[in-house]
């Protein structure tokens, strides 16, 4: 492609609303332009990247048993009401009225549509297993569209759905998709991890998130550098010291293990007027949050429960809900707190709490002389110690992991990292097949619900996540696999016929060899061309200048390393195609 015959509007300035590298570079490199919040136009270079990623996805999906379909974005709300997601998705679901005053929704995902389709077309176990996928635009009214195409309201997703006769079948289909995903992300050049994700409400179901590591990622993951364990922050388990110590005595109800050289202090009540948060109490009493106990009163299906965790930790309500086996979990209202503790909100503590179920996080056992609420307005207690001042009967994993927590697999310290979710695989079971009547007849003629899995990948997000991971001060650094072109040919002076002649010759030769080349035939200064070539990030640059052409040679520069080779004009195509 000739630069002058396409549209690559590169920019020198950083766009005002762009906060992250990928957004800045995609705009500056002429890949995308913003239309409105959460909606972007893809210019020729941007579209070529998307098409490359899609081609890799198609190859891997097809070779792992997927069959491509294309489902409508416009969908009837009735389907969504049948699965309960019309309300469940809330404002994320974009709805509109057509001219006949009939409501439509724009598909944010396609479980409902595909399940209804398969319900109508597949009747027999002989037609299963079946994995269908599509690459299509999704619509979500995201509360906070941001970071360019990383989180937009309109984006391209590859979504796949598997239908099986039984759980073994689902496991096989799931495994194939898992392998396809690993192949896709590796081929796209992403530095990624497959992590165990929160199985959500339907406890026991398996789910994996594919995470591209990045400082700007909105997802938090726990990674063990020693054994390779990786889980989302939501799912990462906290090892019960009881289990790891083979049922040690420490958790029988009370003990205190103080820091080295610290002794058990006498409990005392201190006045803390109108001081309720961990931060304020900590400041007033000069105590770090890890020496404080937060006592949170919850209502689990209407029964009060007190939850004890350290001041620097956070309750994971999904874990707590699973632990308590309740449907509805919410923080208790002021009246319940008063009834249960005798004190107001913000002053709860474990000392003297009676008649209420109490669950504590393991970390409470690991230190002493805590600050807690005194269950009395404007008072806290200092030097509270487990065993002496209160006891715990229920130890539970009810909080989010924190950096340096012991790994649930090998007990060595885990590390907390940030990541961008680029894909998600999920064993669904029969939730959708039951709701939408996707049943098959087994070999005895009995009707059974199909067992489903679903698998999503964000196409645009792969491009942006890749750029987050692979850039330098000059621009993007593409791998050959998803770069818009393999080579950019740069004649340093378009006014010199000899230089342009050689550049034309190389361009024609590469094109004939099906090597994707972009020919910078603009009448621009060499400096501008070099800067733009680095900015758009194509992996190889062929520089044609009068420094070398009289010897019949040109320069081939590798964008990633900056390495330059002087190459015979006739050999450019072989050198460029041999490069990785
Ligand atoms: P997130 O947690 O980031 O909102 P999600 O869990 O809602 O994502 P899924 O429903 O699992 O997303 O969608 C599958 C894939 O689609 C995600 O892994 C991600 O790569 C992509 N994706 C989801 N939402 C967006 C968005 N708003 N913009 C771009 N890509 C998205
Ligand atoms: Mg997800």
Provide DSSP, 383-403. Answer: EE-BTTTB--SEE---B---T
Q: What is the mean pLDDT of residues 103-127?
A: 98
Percent with pLDDT over 90 in the chain: 88
H helix or E strand, kind and range, residue 465 = helix 459-469
Tell me which residue has its CA closest to atom 27 in ligand 1. 151
CB 536 within 8 A of CB 45: yes
pLDDT digits (tens, 9 = 90+) for 50-65: 999 999 999 999 999 9
Question: What's the confidence (pLDDT) of residue 259?
Answer: 63
Other Cβ atoms less than 10 A from the Cβ of 121: the count is 10
Query: Over 90: is that where the pLDDT of 255 sits?
Result: no
- Phi, psi at 572, each rounded to 5°: -55, -45
CB 229 within 8 A of CB 195: no
For 383, what's the count of Cα atoms within 13 Å in the CB-facing half-sphere? 9
Tell me which residue has its CA closest to atom 8 in ligand 1. 421
Query: Over 70: is that where the pLDDT of 243 sits?
Result: no
- Phi, psi at 461, each rounded to 5°: -65, -30
Question: What's the confidence (pLDDT) of residue 206?
Answer: 83
State which ligand 1 atom lies nearest to the alpha carbon of 457. 15
**Which of helix, strand or coil describes residue 92?**
helix
State which ligand 1 atom lies nearest to the alpha carbon of 420. 3
Question: What's the confidence (pLDDT) of residue 197?
Answer: 87
Ligand at shortest distance from the CA of 22 = 1
Q: What is the mean pLDDT of residues 103-126?
A: 98
Question: What's the confidence (pLDDT) of residue 240?
Answer: 75
CB 166 within 8 A of CB 211: no
Q: What is the mean pLDDT of residues 373-382?
A: 96
Q: Where does the pLDDT of residue 553 fall: very low under 50, low under 70, confident under 90, or very high at 90 and above?
A: very high
CB 211 within 8 A of CB 192: yes
What span, in angstroms and rounded, lies between the C-alpha atoms of 578 and 557?
14
Query: Over 90: is that where the pLDDT of 112 sits?
Result: yes
Which of 42-46, 197-201, 227-231, 458-462 is predicted with the least confidence, judged by mean pLDDT? 197-201
Distance 233 CA to ligand 2 centre (A): 13
CB 508 within 8 A of CB 489: no
CB 462 within 8 A of CB 190: yes
Query: Over 80: is that where the pLDDT of 248 sits?
Result: no
Pocket test for ligand 1, best of 456, 457, 466 (most atoms within 8 A of CB): 456
pLDDT digits (tens, 9 = 90+) for 440-450: 999 999 999 99
Q: What is the mean pLDDT of residues 545-551?
A: 94
Which among 416, 292, 297 has a CA at the least distance from the CA of 364? 292
Pick the more confident residue, 327 or 561: 561
Question: What's the confidence (pLDDT) of residue 204?
Answer: 47
Which among 430, 446, 444, 437 has a CA at the least distance from the CA of 169? 430
Distance 232 CA to ligand 1 centre (A): 15
Query: Over 70: is that where the pLDDT of 275 sits?
Result: yes
State which ligand 1 atom lies nearest to the alpha carbon of 145. 27
Q: Could you say which DSSP state residue 227 is in? A: T
Distance 140 CA to ligand 1 centre (A): 9
Tell me which residue has its CA closest to atom 24 in ligand 1. 151
Confidence (pTM):
0.88
Tell me which residue has its CA closest to atom 21 in ligand 1. 458
Percent with pLDDT over 70 in the chain: 95
Residue with token string 């995609």: 26
Query: Over 80: is that where the pLDDT of 67 sits?
Result: yes
Which among 456, 421, 464, 418 has a CA at the least distance from the CA of 148? 464
Distance 114 CA to ligand 2 centre (A): 18
Question: What's the confidence (pLDDT) of residue 242?
Answer: 56
Tell me which residue has its CA closest to atom 30 in ligand 1. 458
Query: Over 60: is that where the pLDDT of 95 sits?
Result: yes
DSSP lists the bridge partners of residue 413 as 406
What span, in angstroms and rounded, lies between the C-alpha atoms of 161 and 163?
7
Which among 406, 389, 384 has a CA at the least distance from the CA of 397? 406
pLDDT digits (tens, 9 = 90+) for 495-504: 999 999 999 9
Query: Over 70: is that where the pLDDT of 489 sits?
Result: yes
Distance 321 CA to ligand 2 centre (A): 20
CA 102 to chain centre: 35
- Phi, psi at 476, each rounded to 5°: -80, 150
Query: Over 50: is that where the pLDDT of 422 sits?
Result: yes
Q: Count Cβ atoms within 10 A of the Cβ of residue 378 and give its class: 0-12 exposed, 13-18 middle, 19 or more buried.
A: middle
Q: Where does the pLDDT of residue 246 fall: very low under 50, low under 70, confident under 90, or very high at 90 and above?
A: very low
**Which of helix, strand or coil describes residue 379?**
strand
Q: Where does the pLDDT of residue 40 fall: very low under 50, low under 70, confident under 90, or very high at 90 and above?
A: very high
Tell me which residue has its CA closest to atom 14 in ligand 1. 456
Tell me which residue has its CA closest to atom 4 in ligand 1. 151
Question: What's the confidence (pLDDT) of residue 51?
Answer: 98
What span, in angstroms and rounded, lies between the C-alpha atoms of 221 and 211?
9
What span, in angstroms and rounded, lies between the C-alpha atoms of 163 and 454?
9
For ligand 1, residues with CB inside 6 Å are 109, 140, 142, 151-152, 155, 157, 421-424, 456-458, 460-461
Q: What is the mean pLDDT of residues 366-373?
A: 90
Question: What's the confidence (pLDDT) of residue 235?
Answer: 87
Query: Over 80: is that where the pLDDT of 165 sits?
Result: yes
Q: Could you say which DSSP state residue 238 is in? A: -
Structure tokens at 9: 């509007």
CB 296 within 8 A of CB 309: yes
Pick the more confident residue, 261 or 554: 554
Three-state SS string over 540-556 comes to: EEEEECCCCHHHCEEEE
Other Cβ atoms less than 10 A from the Cβ of 19: the count is 11
């Amino acid at each position: 492609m000739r630069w002058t015959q396409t549209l690559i509007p590169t920019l020198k300035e950083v766009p005002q609303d762009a906060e992250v590298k990928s957004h800045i570079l995609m705009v500056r490199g002429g890949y995308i332009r913003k239309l409105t919040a959460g909606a972007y136009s893809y210019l020729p270079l941007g579209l070529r990247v998307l098409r490359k990623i899609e081609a890799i996805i198609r190859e891997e999906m097809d070779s792992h048993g997927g069959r491509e379909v294309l489902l409508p974005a416009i969908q009837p709300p009735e389907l969504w009401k049948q699965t309960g997601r019309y309300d469940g998705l809330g404002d994320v679901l974009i709805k509109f009225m057509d001219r006949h005053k009939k409501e439509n929704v724009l598909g944010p995902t396609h479980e409902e549509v595909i399940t209804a389709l398969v319900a109508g077309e597949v009747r027999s176990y002989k037609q299963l297993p079946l994995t269908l996928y599509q690459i299509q635009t999704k619509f979500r009214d995201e509360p906070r569209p941001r970071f360019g195409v990383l989180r937009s309201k309109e984006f391209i997703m590859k979504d796949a759905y598997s239908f099986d006769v039984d759980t073994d079948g689902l496991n096989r289909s799931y495994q194939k998709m898992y392998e396809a995903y690993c192949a896709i992300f590796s081929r796209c050049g992403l530095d990624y991890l497959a992590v165990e994700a929160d199985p959500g409400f339907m406890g026991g179901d398996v789910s994996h998130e594919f995470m591209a590591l990045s400082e700007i990622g909105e997802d938090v993951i726990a990674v063990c550098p020693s054994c390779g364990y990786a889980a989302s922050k939501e799912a990462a388990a906290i090892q019960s010291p009881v289990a790891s110590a083979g049922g040690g005595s420490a958790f029988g109800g009370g003990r205190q293990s103080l820091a080295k050289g610290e002794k058990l202090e006498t409990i005392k009540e201190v006045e803390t007027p109108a001081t309720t948060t961990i931060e304020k109490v900590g400041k007033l009493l000069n105590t770090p949050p890890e020496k404080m106990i937060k006592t949170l009163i919850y209502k689990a299906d209407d029964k009060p429960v007190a939850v004890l965790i350290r001041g620097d930790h956070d309750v994971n309500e999904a874990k707590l809900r699973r632990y308590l086996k309740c449907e509805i979990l919410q923080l208790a209202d002021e009246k319940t707190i008063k009834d249960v503790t005798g004190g107001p909100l913000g002053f709860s503590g474990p000392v003297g709490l009676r008649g209420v179920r109490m669950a504590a996080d393991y970390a409470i056992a690991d230190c002493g002389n805590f600050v807690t609420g005194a269950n009395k307005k404007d008072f806290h207690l200092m030097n509270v110690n487990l065993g002496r001042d209160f006891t715990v009967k229920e130890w539970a994993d009810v909080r989010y992991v924190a950096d340096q927590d012991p790994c649930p697999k090998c007990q060595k310290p885990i590390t907390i990292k940030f990541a961008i979710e680029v894909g998600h695989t999920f064993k669904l079971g029969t939730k959708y097949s039951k709701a939408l009547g996707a049943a098959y007849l087994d070999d005895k003629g009995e009707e059974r619900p199909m067992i489903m899995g679903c698998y999503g990948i964000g196409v645009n997000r792969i491009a942006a996540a890749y750029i987050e991971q692979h850039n330098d001060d000059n621009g993007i650094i593409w791998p050959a696999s998803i770069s818009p072109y393999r080579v950019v040919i740069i004649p340093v002076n378009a006014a010199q016929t000899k230089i342009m002649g050689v550049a034309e010759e190389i361009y024609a030769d590469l094109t004939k060899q099906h090597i994707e080349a972009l020919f910078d035939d603009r009448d621009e200064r060499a400096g501008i061309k070099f800067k733009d070539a680095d900015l758009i990030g194509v992996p190889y640059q062929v520089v044609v200048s009068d420094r070398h052409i009289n010897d019949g040679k040109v320069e081939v520069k590798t964008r990633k390393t900056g390495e330059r080779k002087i190459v015979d004009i006739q050999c450019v195509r072989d050198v460029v195609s041999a490069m990785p």
